[in-house]
C-alpha cells in the first residue's frame, strides 16, 4: 500500500484527487492539507510514502515545504503536481529534493504511474518539463566547457562505462523504467537497477535526470 499526502490549496481539487486515488488498489490518501506549513507538519506526523505537492500555496510554498520535508525525512518521495510550467519552479523543486514534477493536465493514469514510479525511487518529469531541464543542463555545460578544456586533458568520461552500462544509459535517457529496460535487454529489473547505480557512481551523478543529460550531451559530441 502506497500511503499518500496531498498538499493543494484548492479544496475541490483535493477532494476529487482523494476520491480518485482511494478508489485505486494499492493507494491510500492518509492526509490532505491546504498549505505548505500543514504539509510539513502532517508529513512528520503521518510519514507518507509519497507527497503530492502543489508549488503555489499560502503560508509556505510547496518548494520550501519540500526542502523542509526532504531535510527531515529524505526517504519521503515528493512529486510536484502543479500548473506551473516555469523553469525556475522546476529547477528549484529539484534542488529542494523533489523526485518528480508533473503538470496538472496529466491524466489519472499518468498520475498513478508517476506515483508508483517515484515510490520505486525513480524520477518522473512531464515531457515538456523534461525538455526544459535538458536544455538548461546543456546550456550550463556549454558555458562551463571552455574552462574545462583549459584545465583538463584526459580520456573521455564515456570510456569508464562498459558496453552494457552504455546500453542501459541510452535507455535511461529515453525515460524508460528499469522494468522496461530489462525487457529490452533481457535483464531483470534488479540487475538494471544495479547497472544504473553503478553508472551514477562512475559518472559522479546523483539522479537519472542528470544521467539523461549526460547521455544527451555525450551522444551529441560523439556524432
Residue-wise DSSP of 46-112: H--SEEEE-SS-SSS-HHHHHHHHHHH-TTSEEEEEES---HHHHHHHHHHT-SEEEETTS-HHHHH
As a dihedral over the C-alpha atoms of residue 170, residue 172, residue 177, residue 181, rounded to 10 degrees, the angle is: 20
Decide: 11 and 34 in contact? Cβ < 8 Å. yes
Nearest CA to 81 among 26, 18, 165, 138? 18
Residues 6 or more apart whose CB falls under 8 angstroms from that of 176 comprise 184
- The pTM of this model reads 0.62
pLDDT at res. 5: 98
CA dihedral sign of residues 211, 217, 222, 223: positive
How would residue 159 be classed by pLDDT, with cut points 50, 70 and 90? low
How would residue 207 be classed by pLDDT, with cut points 50, 70 and 90? confident
pLDDT at res. 89: 86
Decide: 39 and 7 in contact? Cβ < 8 Å. yes
When pLDDT is averaged across residues 208-222 and rounded to a whole number, the result is 70
Q: Which of helix, strand or coil describes residue 30?
A: strand
Nearest CA to 91 among 60, 39, 129, 124? 129
CA dihedral sign of residues 57, 62, 68, 70: positive
Q: Which of helix, strand or coil describes residue 18?
A: helix
pLDDT at res. 143: 54
pLDDT at res. 204: 83
Dihedral-angle region of residue 59 (phi above 0 means left; psi in -120 to 50 means alpha; beta otherwise) = left
Nearest CA to 207 among 116, 127, 91? 91
CA 28 to CA 30: how far, in whole Å? 6
Residue with cell 522496461: 180
State the cell numbers at 145. Answer: 566547457
Q: What is the pLDDT of residues 32-67, one digit of tens each?
A: 999 999 999 999 999 999 999 999 999 999 999 999
pLDDT at res. 91: 84
Q: Which domains does the chain have, with CATH numbers?
A: 2-126 (3.40.50.2300), 154-221 (1.10.10.10)
Q: What is the pLDDT of residues 104-139, one digit of tens each?
A: 999 999 999 999 999 998 888 877 776 666 555 555
Amino acid at each position: 500500500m502506497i500511503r499518500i499526502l496531498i498538499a493543494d490549496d484548492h479544496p475541490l481539487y483535493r477532494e476529487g484527487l482523494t476520491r480518485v486515488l482511494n478508489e485505486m488498489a494499492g493507494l491510500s490518501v492518509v492526509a490532505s492539507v491546504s498549505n505548505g506549513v500543514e504539509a510539513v507538519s502532517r508529513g512528520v506526523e503521518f510519514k507518507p510514502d509519497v507527497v503530492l505537492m502543489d508549488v503555489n500555496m499560502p503560508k509556505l510554498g510547496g518548494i520550501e515545504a519540500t526542502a523542509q520535508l526532504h531535510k527531515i525525512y529524505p526517504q519521503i518521495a515528493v512529486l510536484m503536481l502543479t500548473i506551473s510550467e516555469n523553469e525556475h519552479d522546476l529547477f528549484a523543486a529539484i534542488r529542494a529534493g523533489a523526485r518528480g514534477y508533473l503538470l496538472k493536465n496529466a491524466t489519472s493514469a499518468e498520475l498513478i504511474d508517476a506515483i508508483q514510479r517515484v515510490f520505486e525511487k525513480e524520477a518522473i518529469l512531464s515531457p515538456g518539463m523534461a525538455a526544459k531541464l535538458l536544455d538548461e543542463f546543456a546550456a550550463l555545460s556549454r558555458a562551463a566547457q571552455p574552462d574545462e578544456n583549459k584545465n583538463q586533458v584526459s580520456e573521455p568520461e564515456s570510456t569508464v562505462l562498459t558496453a552494457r552500462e552504455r546500453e542501459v544509459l541510452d535507455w535511461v535517457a529515453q525515460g524508460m523504467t528499469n522494468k522496461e529496460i530489462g525487457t529490452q535487454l533481457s535483464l531483470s529489473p534488479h540487475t538494471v537497477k544495479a547497472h544504473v547505480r553503478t553508472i551514477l557512481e562512475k559518472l559522479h551523478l546523483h539522479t537519472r535526470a542528470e544521467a539523461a543529460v549526460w547521455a544527451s550531451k555525450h551522444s551529441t559530441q560523439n556524432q
